[in-house]
Every structure is written in structure tokens, then in C-alpha cells.
């Protein structure tokens, strides 16, 4: 089954649970990016785009519950605020809960995917990165054999 939105990238591989909605922003949008480990603050330029969130988590466990990205090598150590300028074409939808989601983490959040060709023109970091509270305790999420093979996390 092809998972396409009519674009050159695969919505499933970018962490959406269902096809995202294409939106052209008429107003600027404040978005957040959780990163750490194999995931970088500005994303991975070899990926088809960068994932952001409408929610700003304050802890690592909250971030994992919202975005299910640790299994893809995102250690959820930091959160950075960004502004996505009006005119950007973005894709918005629910995050796929991952292969090893713990229901105790809550309901997965939403994500905003900005295609790579839009990032430089429309995305601006508006605040310094803030560390997320490490509330994982003895809980560990083991990344896949090839972290980052899927998802622009």
C-alpha cells in the first residue's frame, strides 16, 4: 500500500498514524521540536523534512508519550521553540504511537511536518533550547537497529 499524500515523501515513514492534512499557514505558528541523541535541533538535512509539535513537553516521559520517537534514536533531552512563518506549506496530523508504545504514557500528540524545501524560508528558532526534566527513572527505550531510518525526528 503506497502511503503518499501526493508528495515525494511517505507520511508513514515520517511518523504519522494517518495521512496528514496539508495546510498553508495564513498566520505564523509557534511550534516546538524535541531533540537529543541521534536527533538534532534543526532536524536531519538528509530527510524529506523536519517534524515539529504543537505541544511543548516539560519532561522526557511526556515527550515520549506525545511523539513516540525514542525508538528512532531521539533521546528527548531538549525542547526548542520555533516560529513557522505565514505562507509555509506544512502537514499536520496525529503521531503514530510507535511499535512499542506504553499506554501509560497517554495519548500520542500531533505533529507538524515542514518539507525540507520550506524549512530555510519559513522556520525560525525563537528561543534557546531548554533541557527536559529527566523523569524516566529506570525506564529505558532501546532504539531500533537503524535509528533514524524512518522519521524526521
Structure confidence by residue, pLDDT tens digits, 68-85: 787 778 888 999 999 999
* Position 1 confidence tier, pLDDT thresholds 50, 70, 90: very low
Residue 4 pLDDT greater than 60, yes or no: no
Least trusted range by pLDDT, from 69-73, 109-113, 147-151:
147-151
Task: Find out whether 63 and 57 touch, Cβ atoms under 8 Å.
Answer: yes
**Residue 82, number of CB atoms within 10 A of its CB:** 23
Amino acid at each position: 500500500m503506497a502511503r503518499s499524500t501526493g508528495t515525494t515523501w511517505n507520511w508513514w515513514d515520517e511518523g504519522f498514524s494517518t495521512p496528514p492534512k496539508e495546510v498553508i499557514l495564513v498566520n505564523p505558528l509557534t511550534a516546538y521540536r524535541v531533540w537529543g541523541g541521534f536527533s538534532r535541533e534543526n532536524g536531519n538535512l538528509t530527510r524529506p523534512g523536519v517534524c515539529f509539535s504543537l505541544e511543548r513537553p516539560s519532561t522526557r516521559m511526556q515527550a515520549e508519550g506525545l511523539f513516540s520517537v525514542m525508538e528512532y534514536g531521539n533521546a528527548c533531552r531538549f525542547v526548542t521553540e520555533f516560529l513557522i512563518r505565514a505562507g509555509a506549506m506544512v502537514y499536520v496530523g496525529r503521531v503514530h504511537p510507535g511499535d512499542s508504545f506504553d499506554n501509560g504514557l497517554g495519548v500520542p500528540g500531533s505533529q507538524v511536518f515542514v518539507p525540507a524545501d520550506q524549512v530555510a524560508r519559513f522556520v525560525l528558532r525563537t528561543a534557546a533550547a531548554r533541557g527536559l526534566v529527566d523523569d524516566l527513572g529506570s525506564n529505558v527505550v532501546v532504539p531500533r537497529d537503524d535509528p533514524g531510518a524512518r522519521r524526521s525526528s
